[in-house]
């Protein structure tokens, strides 16, 4: 009963049917099930998949694995804002294309993709469209009746729900093969006992976010815009990464030339400020963000990038504190 009540709530938030919601362990598993499940089920129809270079690693690495199984994947470049051009998607389509996967909002820079146009294009050509909407579910209105999407990934912890739970929307009539075998749970698509406490928490978080969504978007968006404007005044050569308008309201990704991202991160952390950088340390080697690289940023700019994610509990006082501390840190690093 609790499971079906939760399913009904998630379906309501997406304007979907309850039977179209499959619960699983998060966005990563949902992306794996969408891509592998669809590709393997339909490989006799074709073996070509289109995605972008700025997708989440759970999409890019799943596609790499599918390439080893005989699939061909075209990864599209983006513009300098990290946005995918629908015309480029159209140009990449081949007779053997069976699936297109483009994220709604980028997790690093926040840029929003024209997924309505891309989905309409896919539908026109008889190709399935998957959209990773982990960054936008609960923050923007998502209606699968008007959005031409066949598979949609969402997750709980991005909307203050528990970690380790997510869902995949599978449009009625779209067939995918399960990637876990065992019992008949989740319409035979995801074997194993459901994480009931996690799923109930997910549904409650979705309900609360749905209720507060517009007010939060306005308040956090205003806070982010003020934060950005003040930083631009204090640090005039600061670079904004991501689209100036078509961007999710809670994300600010910046580059500060001449200031290494890891040093900025360390100094901010010492002041109690949590940010992430535009690079990742993998096996002892510092590697630039694949998103910023795909957007054409130089290693100098991607190496000095910081991502700020604002949330419902952030205040103007906190923003003022961050601006003051970051400005002082930049001056200190540049004077060395």
Q: How confident is the model at residue 84 (pLDDT cuts 50, 70, 90)?
A: very high
Average pLDDT over residues 99-106: 99
Q: Say how far apart CA 60 and CA 51 lie, in whole Å.
A: 8
- In this predicted structure, what is the pLDDT of residue 42? 98
Amino acid 251: pLDDT = 97
Region 71-94: what's the mean pLDDT? 98
Domains of the chain: 2-208 (3.40.640.10), 213-335 (3.90.1150.10)
Question: Where in the sequence numbering do the catalytic residues fall?
Answer: 281
Say if residue 287's pLDDT is above 80.
no
Confidence of residue 286 (pLDDT cuts 50, 70, 90): low
Question: Could you read off the pLDDT of 125-161 as tens digits, one per residue?
Answer: 999 999 999 999 999 999 999 999 999 999 999 999 9
**pLDDT at residue number 280:** 56
Q: Tell whether the model's pLDDT for residue 278 goes beyond 80.
A: no
What does the mean pLDDT of the chain come to?
96
| Interval 229-277: pLDDT, tens | 999 999 999 999 999 999 999 999 999 999 999 999 999 999 999 999 8
> Residues 72-111, buried b or exposed e (16+ Cβ, 10 A)?
ebbbbebeebbbbbbebbeeebeeebbbbbbbbbbbbbbb
Predicted local confidence at residue 283, as pLDDT: 42
Residue among 55, 151, 64, 51 nearest 107 (CA): 55
Give the tens place of pLDDT for each residue, 158-196: 999 999 999 999 999 999 999 999 999 999 899 899 999
Q: Per-residue pLDDT averaged across 46-67, rounded?
A: 98
Cα–Cα distance list, 317 to 18, 73, 226, 320, 323 (Å): 42, 47, 12, 5, 10
């Amino acid at each position: 009963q609790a499971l079906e009540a939760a399913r009904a709530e998630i379906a309501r938030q997406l304007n979907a049917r309850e039977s179209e919601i499959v619960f699983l362990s998060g966005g990563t598993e949902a992306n794996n099930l969408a891509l592998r499940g669809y590709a393997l089920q339909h490989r006799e129809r074709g073996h070509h998949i289109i995605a972008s270079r700025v997708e989440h690693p759970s999409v890019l690495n799943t596609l790499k694995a599918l390439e080893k199984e005989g699939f061909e994947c075209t990864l599209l470049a983006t513009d300098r804002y990290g946005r995918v051009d629908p015309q480029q998607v159209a140009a990449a389509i081949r007779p053997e294309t069976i699936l297109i996967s483009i994220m709604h909002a980028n997790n690093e820079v926040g840029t929003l993709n024209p997924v309505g146009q891309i989905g309409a294009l896919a539908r026109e050509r008889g190709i399935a469209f998957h959209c990773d909407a982990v960054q936008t579910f609960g923050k923007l209105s998502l209606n699968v009746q008007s959005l031409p999407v066949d598979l949609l990934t969402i997750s709980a912890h991005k909307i203050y729900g528990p970690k380790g739970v997510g869902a995949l929307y599978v449009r009625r009539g779209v067939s995918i093969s399960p990637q876990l075998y065992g019992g008949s749970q989740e319409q035979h698509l995801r074997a194993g006992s459901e994480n009931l406490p996690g799923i109930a928490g997910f549904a409650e978080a979705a309900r609360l976010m749905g209720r507060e969504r517009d007010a939060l978007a306005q308040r956090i968006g205003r806070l982010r815009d003020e934060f950005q404007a003040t930083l631009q005044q204090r640090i005039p050569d600061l670079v904004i990464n991501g689209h100036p308008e078509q961007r999710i309201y809670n994300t600010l990704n910046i580059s500060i030339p001449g200031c290494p991202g890891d040093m900025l991160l360390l100094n901010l952390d010492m002041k109690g400020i949590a940010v992430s950088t535009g690079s990742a340390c993998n096996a002892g080697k510092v590697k630039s963000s694949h998103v910023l690289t795909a957007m054409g940023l130089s290693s100098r700019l991607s190496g000095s990038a910081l991502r700020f994610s604002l949330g419902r509990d952030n205040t103007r006082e906190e923003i003022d504190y961050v601006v003051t501390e970051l400005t002082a840190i930049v001056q200190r690093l540049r004077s060395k």
